A = this chain, B = another copy of it.
């Protein structure tokens, strides 16, 4: 029943994953594309990102302003990529970072079944907070 379709390692996929692994911040599709130097088509990057998300290797973040970014967590206490943490969106430099230690607590609403949570904080990141200009 569980027809697990195998995923293949291609040059493009390796490049995209490497870019995300090196980055300290979450990247958008366009930002990733720029870093690949036209190694592959725009559509291919969309499909690679979809695959990586499906395989739980990276995760997708939708920001307050609607921009979509992708990130690979840097902590790896577990062998799987867990992303039930908060994200921080800087209003000034627009960078999005995983706050891998910040996990919100809340009272589960009655009659609702919660499968997934998304918690995004926005404001000023440490960089922009120090250089106040």
A interface with B by C-beta (< 8 Å): 62-66, 68, 86, 88, 91, 99, 101-107, 109, 111-126, 129
Residues A112 and B116 in contact in the complex (CB < 8 Å), given A66-B62, A107-B102: no
How many copies of this chain does one complex carry? 2
Q: Which residues of B contact A103 (CB under 8 A)?
A: 106
User: Which of B88, B111, B115 contacts A109 (CB under 8 A)?
Assistant: B88
The 6 tightest CB contacts between A and B, nearest first, are A104-B104, A111-B126, A115-B123, A113-B124, A118-B120, A104-B106
Query: Can you list 8 residue pairs at the A/B interface with Cβ under 8 Å?
Result: A62-B62, A62-B65, A99-B109, A105-B106, A109-B121, A112-B123, A113-B123, A115-B122
Is the CB–CB distance between B64 and A66 below 8 Å? no
